[in-house]
Structure 1
Amino acid sequence: MKKILFLSIFVLATVFAFAQTPGNPPVGNTVVPKKKLPKKDGFIFREENVADTVVPYSVVNKEDVYFTKRVWREIDLRDRGNEIMSSPKVNLIGVIYKALNDGELDLYSPNDEDFQGDPISQKKDAAAKTNSNSAVDSAFLGVNPATNEVNRADNEFFKSRFIALRIKEDWILDIRRGIFEPRIVGVAPVIMQLSFPQDNNGNPVIDPVSGKPKVDTLGTPAVGWLYFDDLRHILVKTKVANNNNDNSGINFDDVFVRRLFFSNITKVSNTADERFKDYLANSKDQLLESERWKKYIADFEQGLWEY
């Protein structure tokens, strides 16, 4: 009798324990629903680990600056060496546009590279009274002449229309630290303005070669200037797309501060305030002048030291 009682208790305990194991409904009438958690797409996205702190520059005292030279550069976003800035996945212009629309960044006039006037991003466009950030939309997006609508703000549009970045920087010689280094002052995105010619009937002119509506380039102006010290706090929050390592940790601030880009010099400070194209009509000569100044800067730094 004791054996039968012991066996019955053992069977009941086994059944109860099996019922409480994961994957089986609990004993009784109450069924606890399984908690749904959002799925993370990939290993590196399981934990949010985005650097959001700018590494400050070394402090430079005015009395320690022995030599300065102001340089203007242009980064060609169509250059394969700069493709990390205009990736369809993470586009630098898209990051800047979002920050401007969110009120985290100020955009200054294309003619205000000294940042002395009021930001145009804080002004409304009279043609679009319903949008508080319409001045930014007008500068970055524009209106499609074929549809009379504002162009769509996506990475595909930014990649096709924004062709360059203009940079204004100072090269300084800090004799206390013994370093000759650049400090970026401002950045200006450059957009390609287009027009769609129409015939007398208002229909688009068809290109006989491609069979598509003909498109003319009106110009490549800067949409405005961005103060780089303010821009850094936006850039540091976004990692770039990297062909070599999906988890490289490099952000857009690193690209500028660590000079991970290719560029051409277009102007250096001079008494006549002339750009290279003001006295060199040939684009090849302008490129050679850019290389000459790059070599001058490198030779100047090299000539500072003796071994």
Structure 2
Amino acid sequence: MKKFLFSTIAVACSFVAFAQQGNLSNSTKPIHAEEPPVDGYFVQTDIENRKVIPYATIRQTDVAYKKRVWREIDLREKMNKSFSSPKSRLIDIIIQAIMKGELTAYDPTPTENDPNGDSFKNVLPSDQVLARFGADSVLVEEFNENNEVISSHYEARGFSGENVIKFRIKEDWIFDKQRSVFEPRIVGIAPLITPQIPGMGSVAGITPAGGAAAVDPFDPFAVQPTQQPAGAQNNVAPPVIDQGFNPQVDPTPAFWIYFPEARHIFVNKEVVNRNNDATGLSYDDVFVKRMFASYIVKESNPEDLRIKDYIADGVGRLYESERIKKALMDYEQDLWSY
């Protein structure tokens, strides 16, 4: 009986040994396998196998308060540096998912059925997504020895997410009286791009004395024309450049994505942390747990005005953003008595 029990335990231990992962710390000979070796000392499969934890259901009759706000996330801030990490850049994750058909991009252009362009009414074709970032196809011509075009073809220009430094999110702050919870829920996310206006790179009609090339007043590194020596005869008046004219173009959404749909992509993408490589945080965790810095650019109002529409000063806009944040927090605090 003892021999049978011992043999049973030995067989069970052998199965457990085969089921476990080999000790990667004690490799003594080259590994010849079809798959490449593990990059590290353990296999990290937690992020890849995660599933989205659904939100609690909210009934319309239980919503006692609702406020919609629009925020902007600046990736140049220290707390948001993980969004622009080359190891796991947020815009690259979104673009790859759209190209694979896993995410739907929505056109931000205002229309009759979508005045603000952020209601997810008009689908943006995937072939036009990269064109919003200037990464569409370009015509390449081939020449012979006589400088004659012999053939031409289109090549897709590479996409680089380094130019995307801001994201805009649309969210609802909801008080559920059934659960007594006041929480924000993100509705959509949009990468912001700065439109390229023709003519901004050069100023027509400005030619320095002596027939030199035109000077771009918006380029701080442009070589300015040399001054004429005293007594020189020159009937051509020097150009007059208005240094006080500084045009500003506001970033606009390239497209919108529906956040409940994007959660199924974000939950399997790990966020790079500066202090710890084993955080186990996904992009879904970062957004749901509000682990980012942002500022409000608009709140729902009868006139549908943005903050910059009634406050011109940049510092004043930040104060208005903080006032709106405080008003949301004060609403929750005023619900309870201590």
Fold match (TM-score > 0.5):
yes
Give the letter aligned to residue 295 of structure 1.
K
Deviation at 1:116, TM superposition (A): 2.0
CA–CA distance in 1 between the matches of 2:187 and 2:54? 14
1:101 aligned residue: 99
Maintained 8 Å contact 2:130/2:136: no
State how 1:179-198 maps to structure 2 within 5 Å: 179-194=181-196, 197=201
1:272 matches 2:275: no
Residue aligned with 2:106, SS:
coil
Residue aligned with 2:287, SS:
helix
Maintained 8 Å contact 2:298/2:306: yes
Gaps of 5+ in 1: 1-22, 24-32, 122-132
Deviation at 1:251, TM superposition (A): 0.5
2:161 aligned residue: 158
Counterparts in 2 of 1:248 and 1:51: CA distance versus 1, 3 Å: farther
Give the letter aligned to residue 135 of structure 1.
Q
Maintained 8 Å contact 1:141/1:150: no
Deviation at 1:210, TM superposition (A): 7.6
1:90 matches 2:94: no
1:175 matches 2:177: yes
Maintained 8 Å contact 1:107/1:120: yes
Deviation at 1:142, TM superposition (A): 3.9
Counterparts in 2 of 1:207 and 1:272: CA distance versus 1, 3 Å: closer
- Across the aligned residues of Structure 1 and Structure 2, the Cα RMSD in angstroms comes to 3.2
Maintained 8 Å contact 2:215/2:222: no
Identity over aligned residues, as a percent?
40
Q: By percentage of residues, which structure has more helix? A: 1
Maintained 8 Å contact 2:129/2:255: no
Residue aligned with 1:182, SS:
strand
Residue aligned with 2:72, SS:
strand
Deviations 1:177-201 (A, max 9, x none): 0001111111111023457725889
Query: Among residues 42, 45, 48, which one is paired with 2:45 in the alignment?
Result: 48
Deviations 1:157-191 (A, max 9, x none): 312x1121111111111011000111111111102
1:115 aligned residue: 120
CA–CA distance in 2 between the matches of 1:225 and 1:36? 41
State how 1:1-307 maps to structure 2 within 5 Å: 35=33, 37-44=35-42, 46-49=43-46, 50-110=48-108, 111=110, 112-117=117-122, 119-121=123-125, 133-142=126-135, 151-153=157-159, 157-159=160-162, 161-194=163-196, 197=201, 207=219, 209=221, 219-307=250-338
Counterparts in 2 of 1:181 and 1:267: CA distance versus 1, 3 Å: same
How many residues get paired? Answer: 255
Could you tell me the TM-score, scaled by structure 2's length? 0.68
Could you tell me the TM-score, scaled by structure 1's length? 0.74
Deviations 1:225-268 (A, max 9, x none): 11111111111110010112112110001111110011101111
Counterparts in 2 of 1:107 and 1:99: CA distance versus 1, 3 Å: same
Residue aligned with 2:263, SS:
helix
CA–CA distance in 2 between the matches of 1:35 and 1:209? 56
